């Protein structure tokens, strides 16, 4: 259970850091609903793609994934 909680904590920390770094569009932060909503109709998908929100979402999610990997590596290292 400790391993999962450590990985989850680092993943959430990565998402927060990624949002703080990449979450601004036009000087203001984009809503979390916009970043974490998937799907939608063709018009919404086209808008997200053209406006750069899709790229922003990918960067935030990659930061979360990187945080999860760091948490996993720290956990594996501490067992040695």
Tens-place pLDDT, residues 14-25:
999 999 999 888
Give the global pTM. Answer: 0.80
Tell me if 15 sits within 8 A of 60, measured CB to CB.
yes
Give pLDDT, residue 7. Answer: 92
Tens-place pLDDT, residues 51-72:
778 888 889 999 999 999 999 9
Q: Count of domains in the chain?
A: 1
* pLDDT over 70, % of the chain: 84
Q: Determine the structural domain holding residue 60 and report its residue range.
A: 2-78
40 backbone φψ class: left, alpha, beta (φ>0; ψ -120 to 50)? left
């Amino acid at each position: 259970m400790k391993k999962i909680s450590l990985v989850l904590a680092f993943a959430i920390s990565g998402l927060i850091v990624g949002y703080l770094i990449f979450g601004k569009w036009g000087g203001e932060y984009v809503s979390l609903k916009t970043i974490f909503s998937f799907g939608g109709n063709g018009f919404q998908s086209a808008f997200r793609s053209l406006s750069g929100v899709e790229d922003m979402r990918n960067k935030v999610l990659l930061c979360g994934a990187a945080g999860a990997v760091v948490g996993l590596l720290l956990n594996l290292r501490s067992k040695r």
